[in-house]
Structure 1
Amino acid sequence: MSAAETLDVAGPGGVTRAVRVSSPDRVLWPATEAGPAITKVDLARYVIAVGEPLLRAVGDRPVTLQRFPSGIEGEEFYAKNPPRGLPEWAHTTMCTYPSGRSHSQLVIDEVATAVWAVQMNTITLHPWPVRSADNDNPDELRIDLDPQPGRTFGDVVEAALALREVLSDIGLTGFAKTSGNRGVHVFARIAPTHEFLDVRHGVIGIARELERRLPDLVTTSWWKEERGDKIFVDFNQACRDRTIASAWSPRPLPGAPVSTPVTWEELPDIAPGDFTVHTVPDRLADVGDAWAAMGESVGDVTTALALWEADLERGLGELNFPPDYPKMPGEPRRVQPSKKRNDLPDPEDR
């Protein structure tokens, strides 16, 4: 390994942060036909290149770090506690988890903090949908369109465009980005007036409306055995302590794909592999940030909750929570349908 490099990163108020990057030539992504290998210092320089829009996406939010000490082909883990050696200029905020435990998480509110996260072998940033001053009321509504095997990216685009219409019909403005894999993420900014469970219910209401409009393409079935080849609307990404890879974050996949904001007009004409650590800085310089105006389009989550309430009147109720959650009021049995025994009462499901 070569000697450490120190990168000068512009900070607030005209200050310059000196961020040390050890093992700068450590290969994080091996070379592929799509491009040469990407090293740790390459990733740090990428973060600096996309720093301004990256901060719009993750700034002032608790962030979970997806870390790969020896590159994407080695061990990975998610760090919720800030790693040791946190710079004195970096900030944290206290978060409460579904278990009831609380501890601090890193807040990335300047580019140097993101570069320091790279120094700690972070590849993907996973921000919460809340601000550091209010960790209980989300200000972003996030919907993950997850294609099941057999579906193409074009199918996901069709679902995303229909989802945009659903959001528009209830007064919300949707913004799309590639997931960095096979899916599409759609975000809408909301006023932080409701807590996580309410926002989750709003997402379920939206998901069910999308399912009604595209019944042969979209599903809200939590159990994989019931999804078939449809596109799953992952409503549980709206739960507390559930996060989605941030805009502008690379993903730990061959070729270093990046979860990239796109305009609705260009979405039908792109391919997920178009956007990588190699190509995104030039794209940003050429066309700018497709999400730059997101902060100017703040909606009201109560319009989504109205869809949820209408479904309650139709007899549709709660859906499954993630398995690490405590059993929640009204939640269906936590056993996959093919293993259910109807002679056993809820909640045992043995």
Structure 2
Amino acid sequence: MKHETRDRFAGVKLSSPTKVLFDQQGVTKADLAAHYERVATRALPFIENRLLSLVRCPEGQTGQCFFQKHGGKGFRDEVKRETIVEKDGGRAEYLYVDNLAGLVAGVQMGTLEFHIWGSRIDKLERPDRLVFDLDPDEGLDFADVRQAAVDVKERLGAMGMETVALLTGGKGIHVIAPLERRVKWPLVKAFARGFAKRMASEESDRYLAQASKAKREGRIFLDWLRNERGSTAIAPYSTRAKPGCPVATPVSWDELETLQAANAFHLEDMADRLEQPDPWAEMAEWRQSITRKMLAAVGADADVPAL
């Protein structure tokens, strides 16, 4: 890949722009900033004005990394801060960005992964996305994960809910349904839990709905836990802190059938990919929400207050 020579992006000057962050491909800090500049038009609508958790690796992917969800010292002003009331009643400061400069400022601080909340800061209690993370046992092939994603898609589709697919850049797939901001976190969580439990009970040889490594052998965990207040999921077009600099990449359902791995796309693939039609373009037109009928269909209608 051709390496970036600039040291300033969106008005943010990088220190040590030639510092290598991904050894395998020689990806530098400037290369990473250029990536977010390249994907900003598609990525920012999913990232901006959401609370973030960051995976920071100041010495690069092979160095020590840490997960940061609260605000801290050292970030530039382009990384914004929001104080919220947490589940235990305490108050804590979180981070968010609202433009490309914020993403670049995150890169400047060694951020290799951006993880997003399922709601935006202006309506924090009303999520706008439902996410199922399909997390396979290590012994399964990617074909099994692909089929699981299609199964989730078809089951949700039968209830009237449209979905898109995201290759996580790790080993799984996220099946995502955009939501209108009508209902609050407890209802979304109850539906996600009920859906996963119902699917796992009907196909217990293939799926489980609990985060148990011991019980996962030969099965896929339908991770519904992303759908509660404070949980996060990898942002579309975020790099992953893994060898080769894979990128969490939106794909179409037709394209998914042809792919062989959840880390099929890497930093150097993005320029060509962005010249192709946006696989999630139609999602902007969808208007959908979780209904009483959907809750009843998964046996969760008694778990939440009235809509």
TM-score normalised to structure 1 length: 0.79
Please say if residues 55 and 108 of structure 1, whose CA atoms lie closer than 8 Å, have aligned partners that are also in contact.
no
- Give the partner amino acid of 2:115: H
Show the counterpart of 2:130.
141
2 CA distance for matches of 1:310 and 1:78? 33
Structure 2: state its 5+ residue gaps: none
**Match status 1:22 vs 2:12:** no
Q: How does 1:232-271 map to 2 (within 5 A)?
A: 232-271=221-260
Show the counterpart of 2:53.
64
2 CA distance for matches of 1:183 and 1:6? 34
Q: How does 1:205-284 map to 2 (within 5 A)?
A: 205-212=194-201, 214-272=203-261, 273-284=263-274
Q: How does 1:285-324 map to 2 (within 5 A)?
A: 285=275, 287-302=276-291, 303-309=293-299
**What is the CA deviation profile of residues 213-248 of structure 1, one whole-angstrom value per residue up to 9, with x for unaligned ones?**
543221113322222210000111212211111110
1 CA distance for matches of 2:243 and 2:252? 25
- Give the partner amino acid of 2:282: A
2 CA distance for matches of 1:160 and 1:278? 26
2 CA distance for matches of 1:96 and 1:281? 40
Show the counterpart of 1:99.
88
1 CA distance for matches of 2:301 and 2:9? 54
Q: CA deviation at 1:194?
A: 2.4
Equivalent of 1:112 in 101, 106, 119 = 101
- Give the partner amino acid of 1:293: E
**Match status 1:126 vs 2:115:** yes
2 CA distance for matches of 1:163 and 1:236? 15
Q: CA deviation at 1:201?
A: 1.1
- Give the partner amino acid of 1:22: S
Q: CA deviation at 1:87?
A: 4.3
Show the counterpart of 1:152.
141
Q: CA deviation at 1:184?
A: 0.4
- Give the partner amino acid of 1:283: R
Please say if residues 54 and 247 of structure 1, whose CA atoms lie closer than 8 Å, have aligned partners that are also in contact.
yes
2 CA distance for matches of 1:138 and 1:112? 25
Show the counterpart of 2:29.
40
Q: How does 1:180-195 map to 2 (within 5 A)?
A: 180-195=169-184
Once the two structures are aligned, what percentage of the paired residues are identical?
Answer: 31
Q: How does 1:319-338 map to 2 (within 5 A)?
A: none
Partner SS state of residue 176, structure 2: strand
Please say if residues 205 and 311 of structure 1, whose CA atoms lie closer than 8 Å, have aligned partners that are also in contact.
no
CA RMSD of aligned residues (A): 2.2
- Give the partner amino acid of 1:161: V
Please say if residues 79 and 106 of structure 2, whose CA atoms lie closer than 8 Å, have aligned partners that are also in contact.
no
Structure showing greater radius of gyration is: 1
Please say if residues 95 and 135 of structure 1, whose CA atoms lie closer than 8 Å, have aligned partners that are also in contact.
no
Question: After the TM superposition, which of the residue ranges 265-274 and 38-47 deviates more from structure 2?
Answer: 265-274
Partner SS state of residue 236, structure 1: coil
Please say if residues 191 and 300 of structure 2, whose CA atoms lie closer than 8 Å, have aligned partners that are also in contact.
no
Please say if residues 217 and 231 of structure 1, whose CA atoms lie closer than 8 Å, have aligned partners that are also in contact.
yes
Structure 1: state its 5+ residue gaps: 10-17, 319-350
Please say if residues 166 and 209 of structure 1, whose CA atoms lie closer than 8 Å, have aligned partners that are also in contact.
no
2 CA distance for matches of 1:235 and 1:157? 17
2 CA distance for matches of 1:118 and 1:90? 11
2 CA distance for matches of 1:271 and 1:22? 37
Show the counterpart of 1:327.
none
2 CA distance for matches of 1:93 and 1:245? 20
Q: Which has the higher contact order (CA 8 A, sep 6+)?
A: 2
Partner SS state of residue 133, structure 2: strand
Question: How many residue pairs align between the two structures?
Answer: 298
Partner SS state of residue 299, structure 1: coil
2 CA distance for matches of 1:130 and 1:260? 20
Partner SS state of residue 165, structure 2: strand
